């Protein structure tokens, strides 16, 4: 069986929607939220942008009952963006 990987552009404050044009369109948040709720995500690849928006739709809307994650990779880029890879524990 293959892993289900969610890849998202995300701000420092957890916003992932493209409002305000801070990044190009990163996919369907509705689908991602459904996959998370069903416990189907094996890995998260988060490209963290050094931006704080203060509002907008977030990747994790309810931390209650959230899966335990372990950090498996960090990779900084010259642009200030950092890739964080997390696997479900």
Residue 88 lies in a domain: no
Rounded CA-CA distance 88/44 in Å is: 8
Between 17 and 7, residue with greater pLDDT: 7
pLDDT for 42: 96
Residue 40 lies in a domain: yes
Q: Which of 48, 42, 45 is nearest to 87 (CA)?
A: 42
pTM: 0.85
Residue 89 lies in a domain: no
Query: Domain range for residue 68?
Result: 5-83
Q: How many domains does the chain have?
A: 1
Residue 10 lies in a domain: yes
- pLDDT per residue as tens digits for the range 25-49: 576 788 888 898 898 999 999 999 9
- pLDDT per residue as tens digits for the range 46-64: 999 999 988 888 888 766 5
Residue 73 lies in a domain: yes
């Amino acid at each position: 069986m293959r892993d289900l990987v969610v890849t998202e552009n995300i701000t420092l404050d957890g916003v992932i929607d493209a409002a305000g044009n801070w990044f190009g369109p990163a996919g369907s948040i509705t689908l991602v939220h459904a996959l998370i709720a069903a416990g189907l995500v094996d890995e998260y690849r988060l490209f963290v942008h050094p931006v704080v928006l203060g509002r907008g739709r977030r990747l994790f809307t309810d931390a209650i009952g959230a899966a335990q994650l372990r950090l498996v990779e960090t990779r900084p880029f010259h642009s200030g963006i950092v890739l964080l890879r997390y696997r479900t524990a």
